[in-house]
Structure 1
Amino acid sequence: MASSTLLETSATEPLLPSSSSSTSYNGEVEAQSFKPSRHVEDAIIPETAVLGRNLSWASAYILVISRVIGSGIFATPGSIVKTTGSVGLALLLWVFGAFIAWCGMIISLEYGCMLPRSGGDKVYLEFTYQYPRFLASTLVAVQAILLGFTASNCIIFGEYVLFAFGVEVTEVSQKTLALGLLTAITIVHGCFMKTGIRIQNALGWIKVGLILFMALTGIYVVLFNVKPVKGSTPGSQLSWDGLWKDSNWGWGTLSTAIFKVSYSYAGLHNLNNVLNEVKNPVRTLKTVAPAALFTACLLYLLVNFAFFVVVPLEEVKESGELIAALFFERVFGEQFGKTILPLAIAVSAAGNVMVVTFTLARVNQEIARQGFLPLGKYTNFFSSSKPFGAPMGGLIVHYIPSFLVIAIPPRGDVYNFILDVEGYPGQFAALATSIGLIWLRRKRSDLGRPFKAWVPAVWIRIAICIALIAAPFFPPKDGSADVGFFYATYAVVGIGLIVFAVLYWYVALVALPNWHGYRIEEDVEILSDGTSVTKLVRVKNE
């Protein structure tokens, strides 16, 4: 039977002995007697990663909390209060946003505890939607390769570092710092993996410390009746009557604020992407994600409280993205605020870039391992952890689109448009995993589930995903978009990428095999060093 290699990938993993395994005289099983399996059903078995289980509970917690708490908490509270009209309703939305995040988190928890392997949504979609064959894998691969970039927080880092040191913010200087951060993080994670983990842990704790410092500052102002350095203490805006004054309860208006709050909680599933590297993955996942959600919600509420006890409500509403700047300026003075705030935001952005790069590199590696990164003779490199015991290939796949997105588009409309395109297709993946969880409950009751999601919350998550997918197609009041063209263009482009992935799958894995009389099969081999290689091979039909 003739066959030729179509795609190839490799992965070192624990090998299960086949029925033909034999034992040597010293009691060890010979390597030649093993036959590894890469079937999707094996996802229910926790595999030991090549990289080793280097992530303790504390490291796993930072990986999640540093992904969740980005630069948004420094900028969005002002616009949220302006939309809601009152302090009380704004605080209520931050709690409601935590509930929405919890609905998505418990879905990731059930999947992650049931299928404790690196890859996150890639593993869950492949396991849930095994037919049409290879379609889920192709969709995930195309989205990860074309849209798996880190750009926004790199740009934010460059902007605020320049601002903190009083340097004029130009496009060239901002992009230079952004690309420098991206390059440095890629080198550290690729060449010095354990050092990279220590650095991202340190940045994560610094970020949490800064947010906690802001929160405690607000409490200190209230307890000791401290007078602001600039301006006067706000009046009764935190009294019960002032708390709800001018509240805007209209759903059409509130929905915008709800989306902003929801984005501030995004990233609770970050640990699911690297479960192969987590010590006691199921037990750690079940505690880390809820702890991160509780921490984020508590810190967000305390920081908002600090803003409201220091900055008058009308100034909060008109602050735009400068609410944190007003807070620091009123409490510590203009010069201190102009230096500390930008550096705090820069540190927060850098920590976010580190954890996102760390996890997305692992997702790219898993895609290559499964045979869906067609790079010919270089595929084994992108699938392995060579040469420094880290997923250098996955980091390179992440680095290239990130570099291009930062370097090529001008600041402003086009750049913001690219970021919108990045996030939109992810809603389809979230919808698919939510529906898939309901389906697996009915069709695969045989699976062990160390954690079970609350079904009504899953349905709420489904409704939210549908709302977010439909939202871009409802025209704004003036019928135009901020970027100067059709308001739903980013959604159309996002859907176009999904259609492209489906067409690629159909042509490469369905139409051409049928036309030329062959079929695609998976073949697993063991290299001399013990690495298992998965190949998608063309097998001639008899």
Structure 2
Amino acid sequence: MEQSERQPLLPSPSQNNNPRPLSLGDPHVEVPTEFQDSLPGSGPGKNLTWTSAYILVVSRVIGSGIFATPGSIVKSAGSIGLTLLVWLFGTILAACGMSISMEYGCMLPRSGGDKVYLEHTYPRPRFLASTLIAVQAVLLGFTASNCIIFAKYTLFALSVEPTDFQHKALAVGLLTTIIIVHGRFLKAGIAIQNALGWVKIFLIGAMSLTGIWVLLLRFFGNSHHIIPQESFTSTLSWDSLWEGSNWSWGLLSTAIFKVMYSYAGLNNINNVLNEVHNPVQTVKTVCPSALLTAGGLYLLANTSYLLVVPIDDIKNSGELVAALLFERLFGDHIGRTLLPLAIAISAAGNVMVVTFAHARINQEIARQGFLPFQNLLSSSRPFGTPLGGLLVHWIPSVLVISIPPQGDVYNFILDVEGYPGQLFALAITVGLLILRYREPNRPRPFKAWLPAIWLRIVVCLALLAAPFIPPPNWKGDVDFFYATYAIVGISVILFGVLYWYIWTVLLPRRGGYTLEETVETLNDGTNVTKLVRSYK
């Protein structure tokens, strides 16, 4: 069917009094699921089966978090008992957030994820939600943390005492290679990230089972060389479990941010639904499967860390706690070389799936006219891939890897990513309640449990306030001012609001024009929304 023969996408009745050209990305256009395959410019096609979708989610969730964050989480919590409590609480919050994303994904089954949901829920002020998403995607949508972990574990496995430059060069090299693979070889990139995803699941499964193995050896009296008797007994005593607990909400909030980072990506499939076979059913099954997989493996992995590695060593391990576990269990050769190298490969797999999804979000943003060089960044030419979106993703990622000094930069990146994320999570969660009231008759193949929605709202508010509660000795988990990450996150949001006000309100008011949307089709069939000036 030629484009001129397509049925028009009609606006909702509430918009009939204000007709305007509509675009594929318009948040008010209901795109029926049966038209997803035939929409022009909707993407490179249905390339993702259920298995590929599952790997896309699991490989995004199980990244560097479980290998790198436990040391910082233990340092913030202070005790084994509180550490496990933080992980349990974070898992519950992750489930709440997942259920909300599932309702949105089944209700609006098209690519774009949070961008689509915010635009649909908050159409006024006009362009504000789109602008904030664009600013957040460009300034904070980087893939730096897993590139850093790849570099650290690779150099650790090779017994190299790296310089700051070697760390950064290896991390940038990984990201650049992945950009080339996803930009030139679409199907090969998907196949590689699927393979790395299965390797990752096997790796963390093997690591998680070491805790059970140690317990069995202890039961049969054969693990004295791993854990001395007095250390094992004291670790499992009730008093020792809670010894040294830090109950400061400011410190615990950063630990919760890191747990939630370890679960980030449960909604990764929502970003690429145009490329998924049977998207609604896939969302309803893939997301819970990924949560159960990650949650079970995380529980066993933390048990292994806390049973095998002394808690003081964990607190001082930085991002290398998994390397300490393997070295203690398997010795210098296997434990220090092969398994850390496998963790590095796991981190590379995470970078692949994050880059895959973020490039498509950036492409959707460009298609709606919120980025410069719109035609170039929106097009899928010449290889049928979002090359422009990949480039937009590459630039801030390289800057974040290259500019800050090594040291606490990993934890700082996680906190900076996490704080604005809570602002958007709060807006999306409240928005779900708004949509249930505003559009009660809209089909919802999945509905989030109402207590889960309210729990997430309360926790989001608490986490947003937490950075401004001084921790003990006025010192957080990094060497910066304890609220620096919150200040940076708020600054990014305020910059987005200021940018929106200047180009959509102030300049049009002074110039005597309004911004209107018109649809244009590129040579490759991609629909883009042109923002043009309409003079009065």
Band the TM-score falls in, shorter-chain normalisation: 0.7 to 0.9
Matched, 1:126 2:123: no
What is the rounded CA distance, in whole Å, between the counterparts of 2:365 and 2:532 in structure 1?
Answer: 17
Identity in percent = 61
Shift of 1:528: 6.2
- Distance change (3 Å), C-alpha of 1:93 and 1:53: same
Aligned to 2:7: 17
State the alpha-carbon separation in 1 of the partners of residues 409 and 303 from structure 2.
Answer: 35
Deviation per CA, 1:390-410: give whole Å up to 9, x if none: 100100011111122222333
Confirm or deny: 8 A CA contact 2:80 2:241 kept in the other structure: yes
Mapped to 1, the partners of 2:481 and 2:182 lie a distance apart of 40
Matched, 1:186 2:176: no
Name the counterpart of 1:167.
160
Q: Are 1:404 and 2:399 matched, yes or no?
A: yes
State the distance in 2 between where 1:401 and 1:390 align.
Answer: 20
Query: CA–CA distance in 2 between the matches of 1:119 and 1:147?
Result: 16
User: Which of 499, 502, 505 does residue 504 from structure 1 map onto?
Assistant: 499
User: Separation in 2 of the partners of 1:246 and 1:455?
Assistant: 36
Q: Distance in 2 between matches of 1:220 and 1:484?
A: 37
Deviation string for 1:187-226 (max 9, x for gaps)?
A: 0000001111111111111111111112233333444544
Which of 34, 40, 56 in structure 1 is aligned with 2:27? 40
Larger Rg: 1
User: Which of 217, 223, 229 pairs up with 1:227?
Assistant: 223
What amino acid maps onto 2:184 in structure 1? C
Please, what TM-score do these two structures have when normalized by structure 1? 0.86
How far apart are the structure 2 equivalents of 1:483 and 1:133? 39
Q: 1:468 maps to which residue? A: 463
Counterparts of 2:278 and 2:89 in 1: how far apart (Å)?
31
CA offset digits 1:275-315 (Å, max 9, x no partner):
11111111111111111111111111122233345446676
Matched, 1:535 2:530: yes
- Aligned equivalents of 2:299 and 2:414: distance in 1? 27
Cα distance 1:239–1:45, how it changes in 2: closer, same or farther (>3 A)? same
Deviation for aligned residue 1:337? 1.2
Where 1:262 maps in the other structure, the secondary structure is: helix
- What amino acid is the match of 1:324? A
The SS at the match of 2:63 is: coil
Shift in Å at residue 251 of structure 1? 6.2
In structure 1, the partner of 2:428 is: 433
Q: SS of 1:534's equivalent?
A: strand
Count of aligned positions: 513
Q: Tell me, in whole angstroms, the C-alpha distance in 2 between the residues paired with 1:515 and 1:424.
A: 35
Report the alpha carbon displacement of residue 481 of structure 1 after superposing the two structures with TM.
Answer: 5.7
Which one-letter code corresponds to 1:515 in the other structure? R
Question: Structure 2 CA distance, aligned partners of 1:187 and 1:266?
Answer: 25
- Please state whether the residue corresponding to 1:523 is helix, strand or coil: strand
Cα separation, partners in 2 of 1:492 and 1:313, compared to 1, 3 Å: closer
One-letter amino acid of the structure 2 residue matched with residue 512 of structure 1: L
What is aligned with 2:13?
A: none
Question: What is the Cα deviation at residue 461 of structure 1?
Answer: 0.8
Distance 1:176 1:463, change over 3 A: same
Residue range with higher mean Cα deviation, 346-355 or 258-267: 258-267
Deviations 1:307-326 (A, max 9, x none): 34544667656666554334
Note if contact 1:116-1:275 (Cα within 8 Å) is conserved in structure 2.
yes
Cα 1:148–1:259 shift into 2, 3 Å? closer
Corresponding residue SS for 2:404: coil
1:71, distance to aligned residue in structure 2 (A) = 2.2
Q: Does 1:477 align with 2:472?
A: yes
Matches within 5 A, 1:213-362: 213-223=206-216, 225=220, 226-227=222-223, 230=226, 232=228, 235-236=232-233, 246=243, 248=245, 250=247, 252=249, 254-311=252-309, 321-362=319-360
Spell out, residue by residue over 1:421-456, the C-alpha distance to the aligned partner (whole angstroms, 9 max, x if none): 343222211111011011111111121111111111
Please list the CA deviations of residues 253-279 of structure 1 after superposition, one character each: whole Å capped at 9, or x if unmatched. 655544433332222111111111111
Cα pair 1:17 1:36 within 8 Å, conserved: no
Deviation at 1:388, TM superposition (A): 0.4
1:373 CA displacement: 1.2
Tell me the residue number matched to 1:62.
55
Q: Does 1:74 align with 2:61?
A: no
- 3-state DSSP class of the match of 2:361? helix
Residue 346 of structure 1 aligns to which amino acid in structure 2?
Answer: A
Secondary structure, in 3 states, of the residue corresponding to 2:193?
A: helix
Letter in 1 for 2:210: T
Which residue identity does 1:149 align to in structure 2? F
RMSD: 3.0
Is the contact made by 2:261 and 2:414 (CA closer than 8 Å) also made in structure 1?
no
C-alpha deviation, 1:88, in angstroms: 5.0
Structure 1 stretches of 4+ with a deviation exceeding 6 A read 12-15
CA shift in 2, pair 1:218/1:13, >3 Å: farther
User: Within 5 A, what are the aligned runs for 1:411-430?
Assistant: 411-412=406-407, 417=412, 420-430=415-425
* Equivalent residue in structure 2 for 1:520, among 507, 515, 523: 515
User: Structure 2 unaligned runs (5+)?
Assistant: 10-20
- In structure 1, stretches of 5+ residues that fail to align are 1-11, 20-33
Distance 1:392 1:43, change over 3 A: farther
1:383 pairs with 2:378: yes
Q: Quick one: which of 115, 129, 142 aligns to 1:149?
A: 142
What is the CA-CA distance between 1:110 and the residue it aligns to? 0.7
